Amino acid sequence: MPDTSAAIAADIAALLADYAPPEGVADELLAPDGELRPVWRPLLETLLGETAEDLEHRFARGDTYLHDAGVYYRQYSGGGSNERDWPLSHVPVMIAANEWADLADGLKQRAELLERVMADLYGPGRLISEGHLPAELIARNPEWLRPVVGIRPQSGHFLHFLAFELGRSPDGSWFVLGDRTQAPSGSGFALENRMATSRVFHDLYPNAGVERIAGFFRGFREALNDVRSDGGGRIAILTPGQMTDTYFEHAYIARYMGLNLLEAADLRVVDGELTMQTVSGRVPISVLWRRLDSRSADPLELDEDSALGTPGLVSALRNGGMTMVNCLGSGVLEARALLAFLPRMARAVLGEDLKLNNIATWWCGQAAERAYVLENLERMMIGPALSTRLPFDLDATTALGGRFRDEARSPIEAWLEAEGTSLVGQEAVTLSTTPAMIGGKLVARPMVLRAFAARTADGWQVMPGGYARIGRTEDPTALAMQAGGSVADVWIVGGEAAEKVPHAQRPETPFLRRKQGALPARAADNLYWLGRYVERAETAVRLLRAYHLRLEEAGFRETELVSEFAAFLGRRGLDVSQPVPPGLVRLFEGARDGAAKIRDRFSLDGWMVLNALAEAAETAGEGIAQGDDTARQMSRFLGDLASFTGLVHDNMYRFTGWRFLVMGRAVERAQQMAVVVAAFAEGSFPPGGFEIAVETGDSVMTHRRRYAVETNRDTVVDLLVLDEGNPRSILFQLDILAEEEAAVAGPRGPREISEAARAILRLRTALATARPEDVDNARLLEIADEIGGISDALSAAYLG
């Protein structure tokens, strides 16, 4: 119907009223003649006629997903670092499948070339002896690791996972700005962008013919299985830890692909073999996906000062029992100067020209190249030859367009003459622009695209899509990218491979059942402490609620009961002068931070509850009154904590990790209960103490039903300490501990009982046979100590 299409065309024109790509650059949305590229049409039609409110609502779906999932990156600035929200640009970049196929072809060729170059640099060195690459660019490159020279990877390959930073030239062709070979990041963020963007365009995505990216990860996971030397053995991701900027991604990929997430503290080289410490002893690792820079990986043979390294890792690699993804030393390929030589190395090594150009680069250690750079200063970025930064990551020692960033330096000519061997000139490129929705309007912003390639049994595979970075300003030179900006999903559309997926099906589902392997001891330790923190927070909340109810009852007078109660809470770090004491906020944060360390093995929902709780606690005290008001707030906290506990109990698979979480909670609950009963059932505490104890133990109803008498010391001790049927009693916790410890320990003979089991059994037996009158206050404090001893024994047996 021509009328409709004319109307649509007019609407599209209106939508693009403010869309004006700068002169002289390529644009993703509009062809050079100003016509809309066909791949974008469905997306624009989806947006047609949407009000500002509609758009806001649409975009909020993606933001909510990211916020709830806790997607963040860590940003370092000045003296500190903080976790930043993920800056999603909601409009994906659309690329036609046939164009992508050519690009992927070029990337596969490049991946193969990089593999061959690395094999040569750590092997015969022919590229150098035959004059294709100057020796000093390797010998002086701090990422060329001499201890790795001569190592032949057990898998037969040095490189398994690569990323490429890509830009598009004014003539529409793609080019490589840099190769990321060290420990490329971003693939997990690409997944998260996809999750969020498919929610933003929930009405378009399922039927838009977008190529799915899950298959790329599935293929790589299978490839990791295949490279294991013995067909078995464990696969793990090595992360520098929580303080690294991309930790979230490490945890995310570990969870998504069902891999162990390890830090150096988990690893040890024993008898020349890489092993990880688990709750059931040391187990060997067959494949280590390294997200840590090579030089930090082994303080014995590489950087001595690295606290993130594993002594002997290079030796384990040399022994050949393990495959590293990528092999140590792969960072040598990231040096800018290599880009100047890759075209000729491609001809020498592959006998082919590069299918995909890289940014034009001239090494100033050669007279002719140096002269060329000098003659063309206006269109050059000049910087350190061995820097692994991308061209747009400028630093003080970079000159652009003939001017220094650092004005104080000597003239460029003299600089190039004196330090030419350590400098490269790179063409000051411009980037293509792509639509971003800013202030309710589509505007053109420059972008770079990160693409990913993984080695599989069928050769290199390129992820159909990637991770686009969108510049903050209109400036189309590569410089715009360094000031931050946003990130966008990349949709490859119109290919045959993307079959339509029904609505109901989740867009990208995790696909692998995690093999229940031995749990790393550090993860077990974190889960154990998470259980303890959550329980400690719960007791604190119950105590605070009881206090504020008493305060209200007393008409806000400082009765003896109120002031004794306040003093008790004060000794426990809970300052009741504020409705939500900072001590309580810290407990919630402790629980959340504990969960953050083990996000790879933790349900998203559970994490969301703890994160929301910690966030809410900071402001929950504002504008509420002491007494009933605060008590009600505490009840809300208890509801949140109960939903966490519910998720843990109902939804968490009974992995070994779950058992440690449960043991942590039982230990904490038992210890808290001993202290609470000792404090409130003490003779010197003002009348009303027994009731507080029973209330804190959440056992008011039970008490009423079980005892015909008023609350007294014996009923309190009976119910909260000795009653094996009360899920709040100390004896009940010891039953849990006995059961879970036995499950963790696995089958064992009667005489092989552990120290922890012994300590649990001793106290359990003592309590099972005790009468209420045997348990005086001194005994309660002893019990608290013995529970501390059980905790120590558990740590020594499993968490070390």
Partner 1 sequence: MTADVLYDIRLSISYSYAHPAGASRSLLRMLPRATEAQDIVAGEVTVEPRPDYRRDGVDFFGNATSEVAHDAMLKEIRFGFDGRVRRRGMSDLLDLSSDLRELAAEIAHTRSIAPSSPHHFLGESPRIHLHKAIAAFAADAAAGTGSALATVEAVNSAVHGEITFDSTATDVTTDPLTAFEARRGVCQDMSHIMIAALRSLGIPAGYVSGFLRTDPPEGQPRLEGADAMHAWVRAWCGAEMGWIEIDPTNDIRAGQDHVMVGFGRDYFDVAPVKGSLRSMGPHQTTHSVDVVPVD
Q: Which residues make up the interface to partner 1 (CB under 8 A)?
A: 121, 125, 128-131, 134-136, 138-140, 142, 144, 146-147, 149-150, 268-272, 299-301, 304, 311-312, 315, 318, 365, 422
Tokens of 707: 């005892």
Q: Alpha-carbon distance 229 to 235, whole Å?
A: 11
- Nearest residue (CB) to partner 1, 319 versus 376: 319
In degrees and rounded to multiples of 5, residue 700 shows phi and psi of -65, -50
- Nearest residue (CB) to partner 1, 41 versus 347: 347
- Nearest residue (CB) to partner 1, 429 versus 799: 799
- Nearest residue (CB) to partner 1, 209 versus 365: 365
- Nearest residue (CB) to partner 1, 61 versus 140: 140
Q: Alpha-carbon distance 775 to 715, whole Å?
A: 12
Q: Alpha-carbon distance 583 to 573, whole Å?
A: 6
Taking the CA of residue 286 as centre, how many other CA atoms within 13 Å lie in the half-sphere pointing to its CB?
15
- Nearest residue (CB) to partner 1, 419 versus 682: 419
C-alpha angle 295-298-299 in degrees, rounded to nearest 5: 95
- Closest approach, Cβ 504 to partner 1, in A, equals 54
C-alpha angle 503-68-85 in degrees, rounded to nearest 5: 115
- Closest approach, Cβ 277 to partner 1, in A, equals 11
Q: Alpha-carbon distance 589 to 605, whole Å?
A: 17
- Nearest residue (CB) to partner 1, 365 versus 464: 365
- Closest approach, Cβ 201 to partner 1, in A, equals 51
- Closest approach, Cβ 125 to partner 1, in A, equals 5
Tokens of 206: 């399922």
- Closest approach, Cβ 311 to partner 1, in A, equals 4
Distances (CA, A) of 190 to 200, 218, 468, 499, 706: 15, 15, 8, 20, 58
Q: Alpha-carbon distance 259 to 266, whole Å?
A: 14
- Nearest residue (CB) to partner 1, 788 versus 800: 800
Q: Alpha-carbon distance 216 to 463, whole Å?
A: 6
- Closest approach, Cβ 333 to partner 1, in A, equals 15
- Nearest residue (CB) to partner 1, 18 versus 130: 130
- Closest approach, Cβ 133 to partner 1, in A, equals 9
Nearest CA-CA partner of 237 in 167, 315, 325: 325
- Nearest residue (CB) to partner 1, 303 versus 605: 303
Q: What is the number of H-type helices and E-type strands within the chain?
A: 25, 22
Q: Alpha-carbon distance 770 to 723, whole Å?
A: 11
- Nearest residue (CB) to partner 1, 129 versus 473: 129
Name residue 447's amino acid.
M
Query: What DSSP character marks residue 207?
Result: G
- Closest approach, Cβ 131 to partner 1, in A, equals 6
In degrees and rounded to multiples of 5, residue 18 shows phi and psi of -100, 10
Q: What are the b/e assignments for 464-492, b being 16+ CB within 10 Å? A: bbbbbbbbbeebbbbbbbbeebbbbbbbb
- Closest approach, Cβ 329 to partner 1, in A, equals 12
Nearest CA-CA partner of 799 in 672, 667, 675: 667
C-alpha angle 466-468-469 in degrees, rounded to nearest 5: 150
- Region for residue 623 given its phi and psi (left: phi exceeds 0; alpha: psi -120 to 50; beta: otherwise): left
* Contact indicator for 598, 641 with CB cutoff of 8 Å: no
- Nearest residue (CB) to partner 1, 153 versus 299: 299
- Nearest residue (CB) to partner 1, 119 versus 121: 121
Q: Alpha-carbon distance 703 to 691, whole Å?
A: 10
End-to-end CA distance of the chain: 73
Q: Do the strands 273-278 and 267-270 form a parallel or antiparallel pair, or are they unpaired?
A: antiparallel
- Nearest residue (CB) to partner 1, 150 versus 623: 150
In degrees and rounded to multiples of 5, residue 564 shows phi and psi of -65, -40
- Closest approach, Cβ 384 to partner 1, in A, equals 12
Query: What DSSP character marks residue 232?
Result: -
| Omega before residue 526 within 30° of 0, cis | no
